[in-house]
Structure 1
Amino acid sequence: MNLTKRDVLELRRRLTKNGCSFSRMAGCYVGGNRTIITKFAQPFLDLEDDAFYKYLEIAKKVLSGTPGGNLLELSMAENENTAEIRQFLIALKESKLKNDGMLDRFYELVIEHYNYAGNYLILLFHDVYDVPSRAEDHAKLDESEEVYEYLLCALCPVELSKPGLSYHEDDNSFAPLVRDWVVGLPEIGFVYPAFSNRSADLSSVMYFVKPGKDSQHDLMRHVLGCAVQRTASEEKNAFQNLVTEAFGTEKEQAENAFLQIQKNLNELVATRDEDGLPPIELTAEAVSDVMVDVAMPQEAKEQIVRDYQSTFADALPCAQNLIDNKLVQAGLQREATLALTSKIESLEQQLAEKNEQTADSDLPWDETSPAIVLQVSADKAEHIEAQVIDGRRCLVIPLDEGDSARINGVAAPL
């Protein structure tokens, strides 16, 4: 991946009142039945301040996220259809959004391939950025390095505002709030061409997906001509699903195995980070290695490897993308709890054994208790015998020089 966070931030930092250089904006409002409600186009800098900042907020959102996470660098496939799409996008960019026919064609493509049930707004921004030269220490120099011309697109949901009550000052009363259709922040967006290594890359697209939303593979293929790519969240979910499915109905066993796999993956990534190594693309063989010490049936391991190969055949995920930090912490907490429980059980067993050895001397006397309880060393016990002395049966304990004894805790006179 060539796209870096530094590239994204360089574009994003320009989107301010004084730094923004968007020349023009165009839009198309689409209804839930895929019909066009209205279209518009105008110079961006002519907007009133309130509208200017709202639209700027939408554009900035497309330039957010984590590269490789929910901000993807899509590569255009090498085929005849892709070449046609690329030429169209380049022509749309060079038209500076002033060609109504090209705009209509773009809107039609999006409407056909964007899978969204409600109303939404298609927004396009055109910009030209004189990329300044930078010294080796990244300090900005005065002269321009190149001119980067690009399109930024945002697909925003349009939803009714929430119902409520509002205060009417004229008659000093409260009444139901008039609900309006409100434009939300984008769920999908892209920048073409991608800004990669501070330069335009005509063969790739910078693609934004709002966390938790569908990445819209049809848009990638048919509107942008790009190979399909999952977000980090989608890769994580796909991996968890194939692990769970390998265990069938054994849900608890699947959960335990997945927690252990998460721990092993986390250790793998941490080791590479400590060694300063780049992120690792996780092959099926690497997945097999990660599961070596995981307690699970061999057939489940084999199925996971097979399913992994087929699920991620087009693009291998980065190991980091498959890690759920919450699950890693949950697994570590579970291990600590199990270790503590085991230690407590061991101590309780030891205490029980010790109590059993001394239980008789500590028991309270009752009618069922023996009248005499002796605790002597093994070599002394074998010499104890019963004798009749003065007509009474007695226990006779031989005493050696230096022996001592206690009766009910009190030293006995010997």
Structure 2
Amino acid sequence: MNEKEISEIRRRFRPEKSNISRIRGCYVNEQREIVSEFSQSLALMPQEESEELLAILKKTLSGTVGKNLIDIEFATRQVLEGEEHKLLMALRDSSLDDENAVHEFYGRVIETLNMEGNYLILLACDKYDVPYYAKDGEKQEDSSEVFSYFLCSICPVKLTKPALGYYACENIFRNITADWVVSAPELGFLFPAFDDRSANIYNAVYYSRNLAENHEEFVDTVFKSEIPMPAAVQKETFQSILGDTLADDCSYDVMQAVHGQLSEMIEEHKTNKVEEPLVISKKTVKSVLESCGVPEARVTSFEEKYDAEFGADTQISPRNLIDAKQFELRTPDVTIRVNPERSDLIETRMINGAKYILIRADEGVEVNGVNIHISE
């Protein structure tokens, strides 16, 4: 799913838009025991509570495509024969009314999910009358199809701290006792995917809040599919590959060029409003390194290391490799953050045998908020 399609489904999670009639799920304690199960009708709940529940579910479709939201692809054989896919289809086709399927799903999640503390498993099913748009972009009254899907959210339940509260109606202060509160989803998924504004049972969209943790054990249990390494790990791995393979040829100019060219790709993709997610291959980085004059032996070493860490044909989102909004230099004692568009203000130089990072500072220099003058 691309960002536009995800946004279209996100807009469903409002009382006036959604066909979700109820939320069901279970509450799991630290011992991996189901404390309680529930099935609540949204229509019978106070409006504030129903809106809060929908808002929690909606967060399972938040974040960045390729970072927090990852496409999970099923093999043809899985769709035809796989137990994991049959279970997901049973949940979807029954609108979560198949009790055996629901409890089997709970059991699989609880048995394998590695999460500390208490948590909720929330499930919601929706039927979306997908509107049809004419070639001129005008919305038609008749829908083109009904997209039936369900959403799963795994939400930590945390104990708040006691606090002193003010009760306006009584005009007094008194203690607010600690209580258990549902946090934003840690992980979850949507099945099936909404590709080309239609159901695609060969795909699901998986969500992970933490860029450094993708809960691989959950993905393996629920989907029996491989998942890319977490976005934060991709970035660390890419940085390590560059540093290890380029060695003495890993200069400031090389890193500036890599960051600059990847940033340009990201900006161009955004400006052109391309719907499909932006990805690059090792050939993209190879061409950048070659343009910087990096020796061929170093470039070959980079390719080999890339193949070993990511896989020869793996494509990666450049947003996972760099921060396009920030350019950073760091020493053990000093960290310098630069506007990426002005990385030309910095250079590295050897002076009298010592290594220096030089920053051109023509005007507007402050120290602890005070303007200073730099004299000759």
Q: TM-score range by the shorter chain?
A: 0.7 to 0.9
The equivalent of 1:38 in structure 2 is 36
Counterpart AA for 1:52: S
1:207-222 to 2 correspondence within 5 Å?
Answer: 207-210=206-209, 212=211, 214-222=213-221
| Residue from 317, 336, 344 that aligns with 1:335 | 344
Counterpart AA for 1:147: V
1:391-413 residue CA offsets vs partner (Å, 9 max, x unmatched):
xxxxxxxxxxxxxxxxxxxxxxx
Displacement, 1:254? 7.2
Q: Which moved more, 1:235-244 or 1:110-119?
A: 235-244
Counterpart AA for 1:111: I
> Retained in 1: the 8 A contact 2:290–2:296?
no
1:336-372 residue CA offsets vs partner (Å, 9 max, x unmatched):
233996999xxxxxxxxxxxxxxxxxxxxxxxxxxxx
1:340-379 to 2 correspondence within 5 Å?
Answer: none
Change (3 A) 1:226 1:140: farther
1:8-407 to 2 correspondence within 5 Å?
Answer: 8-80=6-78, 83-167=82-166, 174-210=173-209, 212=211, 214-230=213-229, 232-246=231-245, 257-267=254-264, 281-294=279-292, 301-313=299-311, 315-325=314-324, 326-327=326-327, 329=338, 333-338=342-347
> Retained in 2: the 8 A contact 1:77–1:227?
no
SS at match of 1:102: helix
Provide the C-alpha distance between the structure 2 equivalents of 1:316 and 1:119, rounded to a whole number of angstroms. Answer: 36
> Retained in 1: the 8 A contact 2:67–2:211?
no
SS at match of 1:87: helix
Displacement, 1:123? 0.3
Counterpart AA for 2:73: S
Counterpart AA for 1:306: E
SS at match of 2:207: strand
More helix by share: 1
> Retained in 2: the 8 A contact 1:68–1:231?
no
Change (3 A) 1:253 1:284: closer
TM-score with structure 1 length normalisation? 0.71
> Retained in 1: the 8 A contact 2:281–2:314?
no
Counterpart AA for 1:261: V
Counterpart AA for 1:113: T
1:231-285 residue CA offsets vs partner (Å, 9 max, x unmatched):
554433332233344478x8x9677754442223334555777899876643323
More strand by share: 2
- Gaps (5+ residues) in structure 1? 345-414
* Matched-pair identity in %: 30
> Retained in 2: the 8 A contact 1:281–1:316?
yes
1:157-206 residue CA offsets vs partner (Å, 9 max, x unmatched):
11111342234789986554311111011121211011111110011002
Change (3 A) 1:122 1:213: farther
Counterpart AA for 1:85: E
Counterpart AA for 2:345: A
Provide the C-alpha distance between the structure 2 equivalents of 1:123 and 1:275, rounded to a whole number of angstroms. Answer: 37
SS at match of 2:181: strand
Change (3 A) 1:64 1:279: closer
Displacement, 1:309? 1.3
Q: Which moved more, 1:57-66 or 1:332-341?
A: 332-341
The equivalent of 2:5 in structure 1 is 7
The size of the alignment, in residue pairs, is 340
> Retained in 1: the 8 A contact 2:84–2:222?
yes
Counterpart AA for 2:17: G
The equivalent of 1:407 in structure 2 is none
TM-score with structure 2 length normalisation? 0.77
Change (3 A) 1:158 1:258: farther
Provide the C-alpha distance between the structure 2 equivalents of 1:80 and 1:11, rounded to a whole number of angstroms. Answer: 26
SS at match of 1:45: coil
- Gaps (5+ residues) in structure 2? 329-337, 349-356, 362-376
SS at match of 2:346: helix
Change (3 A) 1:66 1:172: closer
1:303-323 residue CA offsets vs partner (Å, 9 max, x unmatched):
432221122217311344423
Larger Rg: 1
Counterpart AA for 1:96: S
